[in-house]
Amino acid sequence: MAREAQSEIQNPIIRVRDITVQFGSTRVLDGLNLDVKRGEILGFVGPSGAGKSVLTRTIIGLVPKVAGSIEVFGVDLDSSSTSQRRNVERRWGVLFQQGALFSSLTVRQNIQFPMREYLRVSQRLMDEITMAKLTMVGLKPEVAERFPSELSGGMIKRVALARALSLDPDLVFLDEPTSGLDPIGAGDFDELVRTLQRTLGLTVFMVTHDLDSLYTACDRIAVLGNGKIIAAGSIADMQASQHPWLRQYFHGKRARAVMG
């Protein structure tokens, strides 16, 4: 058992091998390989429509794949039993692009929903933890009794993050967390992800288009193109890369503005 724990620390938290995903005759992902290391924030970039969200959804199990294997926490998701899979699902949190909050539940009920399902704790503790999560994501306790339709875009993202974190997962998937936020809000969000990663020891898989996020929040960057990972490494590696899309992305007008 101790050896198992040891190997889990050394092995990548997500190991994707030769993944192929196809919609009809269009091949979106074509033999893709990717490792996400424990405790890192991985920024995942690529042109619009390249399949970034598809990869995220494939790893989470929402999109069926044609070939390849996915291991999360050392568990092969194809051959795992239902209980193993539930165990894995309990250890990850997902922030969807649009928040995907349950519209008929209040913010408090949204955050408590996974707790109610997986933990047997008192209502008092759930309420207190909800307040703790709201404080962590930078929201006021008053927000707790509001419905998602009464929240602003930035607040929805924060509440969705609080819900993704509600069971204290080891791994969170963030699908474009800063899209639709103002630059200050986006900066705060990057800072927040950084802080949470430090305090909770999270591993973060972040799909993003935001250059600021890549510079300030991410430890490592992976680039998707033509259904494969075309580059992975630090921001310096990305800037040094000769790939035309990467050159355009990291040396374009916007990138220069971010770098100052």
Partner 1 sequence: MGSWGYLLWVRARAQPSDSIRFLRLGTGADILSGDPKLERIAKGNALALCATGTWTASFAPVLERMVADAEKLAGGPQNIFIDVSEVAKLDTFGAWLIERLRRSLTKGPVEAQIAGLSANYSSLVDEVRRVRATAVVDSSPITITGMLEQIGRAVAGVAGTVAGLVDMLGAVLAAGFRVLIHPRSFRLTSTVHHMEQVCWRAVPIIVLITFLIGCIIAQQGIFHFRRFGADIFVVDMLGVLVLREIGVLLVAIMVAGRSGSAYTAELGSMKMREEIDALRTMGFDPIEVLVLPRMMALVLALPILAFLGAMAALYGGGLVAWLYGGVQPEAFLLRLRDAISIDHFIVGIVKAPVMAAVIGIVACVEGLAVQGSAESLGQHTTASVVKGIFFVIVMDGVFAIFFASIGM
Closest CB 167 distance from partner 1, rounded Å: 6
215: left (phi over 0), alpha (psi -120 to 50) or beta: alpha
| Alpha-helical segments (H) within 165-243 | 183-200, 211-216, 235-240
Kindly identify the residues of this chain, within the stretch 180-209, that bind partner 1 according to CB under 8 A: 195, 198-201
Q: Which stretch binds partner 1 (CB under 8 A): 28-36, 141-149, 225-233, 251-259?
A: 141-149
Cα–chain center distance at 146: 25
Among 18, 76, 78, 150, binds partner 1 (CB under 8 A): 150
Return the number of the residue (115 or 160) whose C-beta is nearest partner 1. Answer: 115
Nearer to partner 1 by Cβ, of 67 and 121: the residue is 121
Between the CA of residue 103 and those of 83, 98, 111, what are the distances in Å?
A: 29, 12, 12
Closest separation in Å from C-beta 175 to partner 1: 18
Q: Which is nearer to partner 1, 70 or 171 (CB)?
A: 171
Judged by CB under 8 A, does residue 144 bind partner 1?
Answer: yes
Q: CA 53, CA 259: separation in Å to the nearest integer?
A: 27
Token pair of 133 as six digits: 């999560």
Per rule CB under 8 A, count of chain residues that contact partner 1: 34
CA distances from 171 to 63, 93, 206 (A): 19, 6, 11
Decide whether 23 or 102 has the Cβ nearer to partner 1: 102
Q: Which of residues 101-130 bind partner 1 (CB under 8 A)?
A: 102-104, 108, 115, 118-122, 125, 127-129
Nearer to partner 1, 58 or 106 (CB): 106
Binding mask 156-185 for partner 1 (x = CB under 8 A): ---------x-xx-----------------
Cα–Cα distance measured from residue 100 to residue 218, given in angstroms and rounded to the nearest whole number: 24
Nearest approach in angstroms of CB 165 to partner 1 is 8
Q: Cα separation of 174 and 117, whole Å?
A: 22
3 binds partner 1 (CB under 8 A): no
Token look-up 């933890």 returns 129
Helix ranges restricted to H, 31-179: 52-60, 82-90, 107-118, 123-136, 153-164
Based on CB atoms, which residue is closest to partner 1, 134 or 214?
A: 134
Nearer Cβ to partner 1, position 99 or 227?
99
Please report, for residues 8, 72, 225, the alpha-carbon distance to residue 203 in angstroms, rounded to integers and kept in the order given: 13, 12, 23
Using alpha carbons, select from 173, 167, 192 the residue that is nearest to residue 111: 167
Note the residues at the interface with partner 1 (CB under 8 A): 102-104, 108, 115, 118-122, 125, 127-129, 131-133, 135-136, 141, 144-145, 147-150, 165, 167-168, 195, 198-201
